[in-house]
Amino acid sequence: MRAICLTLPTNRPCAATIAALAEEAAYAADHFDVEVHLLVLDSCDEPTYAEHAAVLRQLTPRPDIVVHHLDEARQRDFLQRVIERSGAAKPDLLLDLMLPTDVSYGACTNRAFLIASALGCTSVHRRDSDSSYQRLDGEPVYPIHHELLSLGKRAVDALPDVTRTRLDPADVYKPVAMVGASFVGELSVDIGEIRELDPEIYYEVVGLWAEAGTPAEERRELVDDSFVGAGTDPFTHDESTLGTPDIWRVDMCNIGLDHQVYERVPLPPATSTIGSDYFLLHLVRDATLPGVVHNRHIVNYYTPSAGRAPASPPTSCGSPSSSCRCSTSTPSTPRWSRPAERCSTNSTTYASTRSPGSPGAAWARTAPRTSAGSTSWTAVTANWAADTPSSPTTSPPCVSGCSTRPRPTWRTSPCS
């Protein structure tokens, strides 16, 4: 059984989405040999955090799903201990890059990557707070189905589980690094009212991201394709394509990434900037790593903090059930499922789900990897805050029972 991380970073009320996410976690555990770490990174105010915690407490416990609900204070505590033990230069700056005051799509996803690796997860599956799931014949259509079918497999071994392939023969033995789809419903950026009120201004504003010198016709085509996802057509049957991924058809609300991507290269932590979390999609494509693009699109809608009146998930997506079978935690202390192997973080413990001596024990050790051409994620991240690469020499926080053996290198590494 491998461990995976299904994560939801949020800074807005989304109790219904959290309940639906728990149902997706249950689907994954029911249909695949996985232990699901359901990770909610909650930057909301105290009343909203309490509402989210109440939803998670009401879930029925099960041994193969572990819930982690972390407010920013506990995220900060974890980050401070990891940074301190990494020996990184300019630790205060590094902490600010990981947990900035302003909104940062890249930084919040980096925190999910870091915690997932500390938990020994082999992949991260990200969803967004203002979204829900399509339904077919009354049943939710979960993207994690395709993600777990292919992520981490050699491309040649993933062939039976896709409907078509555009795989380059040179890539058949590389691992599937990314599986993703898009969304249907509202625009991904809340600018629909501009388009409704004045289409020409909309074309002018959205067209600003075209390269200088782009012909007018191509600019308008770019605008027509921007922020619309997969349109509005409902899901009717599965389609999936294996090969160099068409990243323009993938959105970060609907993606799974193999650990060897995000443990090697973090996302840019730009603040108040849309799209900073899409960097790894370009990395996967430009490194010629295989991916799967499918059509289990998420349903996107707006919440009050996104600038609109309160909205409910579209009726076509149904209402999440309250009977998800998940393990729960109290609002103040995470519940870890396996006491036999833990990485000490003083007042809080972060469990590794791997057996001692296995590849990929807790990420939180933060010491550089020993495999050629590969360094730890913290060491890479630390270089943002230092003039020269850092060389951590302090003892790792994984003080007992955790392997220091590096994960196997890729057949083809994007960063070596």
CB 181, CB 294: distance < 8 Å = yes
Beta strands 348-351; 342-345: pairing state: antiparallel
**Predicted local distance difference test score (pLDDT) of residue 156:** 97
The SS3 call for residue 358 is coil
Highest-confidence range of 43-47, 211-215, 275-279, 309-313, by mean pLDDT?
A: 43-47
In the predicted structure, residue 90 carries a pLDDT above the cut 50: yes
From residue 128, alpha-carbon distances to 7, 188, 254 in Å are 9, 11, 8
Domain 2-187+232-300 classified CATH 3.90.550? Answer: yes
Give the mean pLDDT of 292-309.
Answer: 72
**Predicted local distance difference test score (pLDDT) of residue 190:** 63
**Residue of 367, 333, 336, 329 whose CA lies nearest to 350:** 336
Give the mean pLDDT of 49-70.
Answer: 96
In the predicted structure, residue 148 carries a pLDDT above the cut 80: yes
**Predicted local distance difference test score (pLDDT) of residue 325:** 31
What is the pTM assigned to this prediction?
0.72
**Predicted local distance difference test score (pLDDT) of residue 206:** 79
Taking the domains of the chain in order of start, what are their residue ranges?
Answer: 2-187+232-300, 190-226
Give the mean pLDDT of 106-130.
Answer: 95
**Predicted local distance difference test score (pLDDT) of residue 157:** 97
**Residue of 141, 202, 130, 150 whose CA lies nearest to 32:** 150
Give the mean pLDDT of 146-170.
Answer: 96
In the predicted structure, residue 96 carries a pLDDT above the cut 90: yes
Give the mean pLDDT of 250-272.
Answer: 93
> pLDDT band at 196, cuts 50/70/90?
confident
Give the mean pLDDT of 45-51.
Answer: 97
**Predicted local distance difference test score (pLDDT) of residue 3:** 98
**Predicted local distance difference test score (pLDDT) of residue 99:** 94
- How deeply is 358 buried, as exposed, middle or buried, from its count of CB atoms within 10 A (0-12, 13-18, 19+)? middle
Highest-confidence range of 86-100, 190-204, 221-235, 382-396, by mean pLDDT?
A: 86-100
> pLDDT band at 14, cuts 50/70/90?
very high
> pLDDT band at 276, cuts 50/70/90?
confident
**Predicted local distance difference test score (pLDDT) of residue 379:** 34
* Token reading at 276: 């900073």
More confident residue, 393 or 106: 106
Q: Assign residue 171 a region: left if phi > 0, alpha if psi is -120 to 50, beta otherwise? A: alpha
**Predicted local distance difference test score (pLDDT) of residue 187:** 62
In the predicted structure, residue 60 carries a pLDDT above the cut 50: yes
* Token reading at 59: 């879930």
Q: How does pLDDT run across 333-376, given as a tens digit for each residue?
A: 232 232 222 222 222 222 323 232 323 322 222 223 223 233 33
Task: Enumerate the H helices of 36-120 as residue ranges.
Answer: 46-57, 72-86, 91-98, 105-118
From residue 281, alpha-carbon distances to 12, 48, 152, 178 in Å are 25, 32, 16, 8
**Predicted local distance difference test score (pLDDT) of residue 411:** 25
Give the mean pLDDT of 103-120.
Answer: 94
d(CA 363, CA 53): 26
Mean of all residue pLDDT scores within the chain: 75
**Predicted local distance difference test score (pLDDT) of residue 230:** 64
d(CA 24, CA 1): 18
Give the mean pLDDT of 181-188.
Answer: 72
Number of other residues whose CB lies within 10 A of the CB of residue 381: 25
More confident residue, 20 or 399: 20
**Predicted local distance difference test score (pLDDT) of residue 306:** 41
> pLDDT band at 228, cuts 50/70/90?
low
In the predicted structure, residue 378 carries a pLDDT above the cut 70: no
**Predicted local distance difference test score (pLDDT) of residue 82:** 95
d(CA 399, CA 343): 6
pLDDT more than 70, % of the chain? 69
Beta strands 139-140; 135-136: pairing state: antiparallel
**Predicted local distance difference test score (pLDDT) of residue 199:** 83
Q: Angle 137-182-147 (CA atoms, 0-180°, nearest 5)?
A: 75
Give the mean pLDDT of 126-138.
Answer: 92
The SS3 call for residue 176 is coil
In the predicted structure, residue 264 carries a pLDDT above the cut 60: yes
